[in-house]
A and B are shown apart, each in its own frame.
Chain A
Amino acid sequence: MRLDPLRLGSALGAVALALALALWPMLRAPEPRQLVVPGAVGTALVTLAVAGLWPRALAWGLGLVGVEYLLSLVLVAAPPDLTAPLFGLAWLLAAELGWVALEARVGERPWAARLLATAAVAVAGTVCGWGLLLVALLPLAGGPWLTALGVAAAIVTAGVLLILARASRAA
């Protein structure tokens, strides 16, 4: 059986990135043993998915890697993590590589314009992330109003996505 180089390369890239993302919080956490389970299971699920054994597990695997990162944030309880935008960029890259590997199974090939557009959007998202972190670093006194504003922002974001989804379905 001849392996598709695109599928093999993207699958290996996705697994390597998922592994790196799983290891990164462990290196920073004081008690890394608590992060082993979600990190290992997440990486294993990503591996299973890109190998074609369980394609639906890709989102779950990525989700577990993300959960591991959140756990590390809770455990460390440090000031805002300035590497978070880079983690987000690598997380998206792992997801994209995983989906390219899955699409390659059914004969789909990524095209240059798509890769460039995705890369541009990812970089823009990362820059936005740093912007958010900078705002978070501002010495503002917290309180119910600021919390309510944050909740409202999250709800508005979810609402905008919902409206876009409805509009795309109508189109």
Chain B
Amino acid sequence: MPGERAHPAGGLSTGWRTRAWGRLPAYLALGGGGLLAAVLLGRPEPVVVVAPMLLVAALGLARARPPELEVLVRLERERAVEGEEIELVVQVSAHRAVPRLEVELGLPPGLRALAAEPGARPTGLAAGATRTFRRRILCERWGGSLVGQLRLRTRDPLGLFTYEEERRHQLPLRVYPSPQTLRRLLRPAQTQVFAGNQVARLKGDGIEFADIRPFLPGDRVRRINWRASARRGQLQVNQMHLERNADVVLFLDTFSDLADASGSSLELAVRGAAALADAYLRTRDRVGLVSFGGTLRWLTPQMGERQLYRLADALIDSEVVVSYAWKALEVIPRRTLPPKALVVALSPLLDERSLGALWDLRARGYELAVLEVSPFDFVPPGSRPAERLAYRLWRMEREQMRARFWAAGVPVVLWPRGEPIEAALMAAAEFRRQTRVAAR
């Protein structure tokens, strides 16, 4: 903000701005007129009449000094989940008496101050006194922001002046998307070497039954399938599928964003990615992130609770940065996309660079599923016939693009706003099942 400077007590400050109410000039003018009239008329009454006004003005001017306040701001915590409430505490200490103090809180978008507590009303402060204002803040929308913008307003004892100051205490607050429980996920076709919850194609020690084979020396007796052994006349043992983990890379397209009053396609994609990350990490899979856009961000696949927080931090920092530079997969570090990883892309499929990257992923043999964040929810068809025709052509072009992906075996599933991501995931799983059947 122009004119801001660092305040000794912390934060950035605009300095005190003094505003005189209309009373002061009026009292001074009427008082001056009274004095002049007394001189001109040679009578004492005009002075007597304006004496109270002149006294109010004189005392008001004599006591007019900007307040000296020390303000400390702290947040209950630095992290919250969407929908949660947190408390902001503002502690104001006065070096000089302040007859009236108001503290207004300015909040960035996505945060809303709830109704002030009774104690947060304007109040006076004696010299050396400290007052604490507490305000509950509702985290309405995920995102990262700096909180602590305050407007302090004080008045002089006679109410002739108002002193205002804006202070910005930059307290970081990260609001994570509200967790979404996904019961079913898109299963990766290939697994990795570490133990996990995914049923691998390989056989070994596991729970899921895979096959039977003849007994070999060293096989455990408890593995013998007695019923099959009796039927075949020789000892048979059960073979099980291994349980392994998988690598999942979430590919977030941040090249383009469509928005209206109730949200944006990027917001939807981030919510979806957060839900997927949470769900895959719960099943002991390694999850990575590629935020592919004007600025490139990535996280190599890892597992565990800490990775969930890393992913959430990376997701809430996602934003669309306009860039005209051509970008392809070469800019992504190789470790970010491990072999045999399942890549789940969340994209409105509007930017050629994203489409090119997706085709490149497919060409490199990655198992790819695309959740197309529906752009149709954000683009109205228009009212004029030409607009409606253009809209239809655009939809047809998009259908053709989708059909090209399908032909290459890539499930591209439309994810309309307001529908659960699980439905889109199931549609992708169904597509993969059908293509496998067709391939046989």
Tally of contact residues, B, Cβ under 8 A: 52
- Residues of A near B61 (CB, < 8 A) are 161, 164-165, 167-168
Question: Is residue A17 contacting chain B, with contact meaning CB distance below 8 A?
Answer: no
Interface residues in A45-66 by Cβ distance below 8 A to B read: 55-56, 58-59, 62-63, 66
- Residues of A near B28 (CB, < 8 A) are 161, 165
Question: Is residue B322 contacting chain A, with contact meaning CB distance below 8 A?
Answer: no
* Docked complex Cα distance between A97 and B52 (Å): 15
Contact of A88 among B22, B29, B50 (CB under 8 A): B50
A113 nearest in chain B by CB position: B99
* Docked complex Cα distance between A151 and B56 (Å): 22
- Residues of B near A92 (CB, < 8 A) are 52-53, 56
Question: Is residue B42 contacting chain A, with contact meaning CB distance below 8 A?
Answer: yes
Contact of B51 among A63, A117, A128, A135 (CB under 8 A): A128
- B31→A136 contact, CB < 8 A: no
* Docked complex Cα distance between A113 and B52 (Å): 18
Contact of B26 among A62, A109, A160 (CB under 8 A): A62
Tally of contact residues, A, Cβ under 8 A: 58
- A91→B66 contact, CB < 8 A: no
Q: A91-B53, A125-B55 are in contact. Are A66 and B39 (CB under 8 A)?
A: no
Question: Is residue A80 contacting chain B, with contact meaning CB distance below 8 A?
Answer: yes
- Residues of B near A74 (CB, < 8 A) are 41
- A73→B66 contact, CB < 8 A: no
Q: A59-B29, A154-B36 are in contact. Are A73 and B41 (CB under 8 A)?
A: yes
Residue from B49, B54, B157 with most neighbouring chain A CB atoms (10 Å): B49
- Encode contact with B along A78-97: 1 for CB under 8 Å, 0 otherwise: 00110011011101100110
Question: Is residue A27 contacting chain B, with contact meaning CB distance below 8 A?
Answer: no
Question: Is residue B252 contacting chain A, with contact meaning CB distance below 8 A?
Answer: no
- A154→B99 contact, CB < 8 A: no
Tally of A-B Cβ pairs under 8 angstroms? 162
Question: Is residue B405 contacting chain A, with contact meaning CB distance below 8 A?
Answer: no
- B23→A164 contact, CB < 8 A: no
- Residues of A near B52 (CB, < 8 A) are 88-89, 91-92, 121-122, 124-126, 129
* Docked complex Cα distance between A84 and B32 (Å): 17
* Docked complex Cα distance between A150 and B40 (Å): 11
Please give the distance in Å from B284's CB to the nearest CB on chain A. 57
- A70→B48 contact, CB < 8 A: no
* Docked complex Cα distance between A168 and B20 (Å): 10
- A80→B45 contact, CB < 8 A: yes
Please give the distance in Å from A130's CB to the nearest CB on chain B. 8
- Chain A residues close to B by CB (< 8 Å): 55-56, 58-59, 62-63, 66, 69-70, 73-74, 80-81, 84-85, 87-89, 91-92, 95-96, 99, 102-103, 109-111, 113-114, 117-118, 121-122, 124-126, 128-130, 132-133, 135-136, 147, 150-151, 154, 157-158, 160-161, 164-165, 167-169, 171
Other A-B pairs, 10, CB within 8 Å; known A63-B29, A80-B45: A63-B30, A70-B37, A73-B46, A80-B44, A87-B49, A103-B21, A103-B159, A129-B47, A154-B36, A154-B38
11 contacts between A and B (CB under 8 A): A73-B43, A73-B45, A88-B51, A124-B52, A125-B51, A133-B48, A147-B42, A157-B35, A161-B32, A164-B61, A165-B28
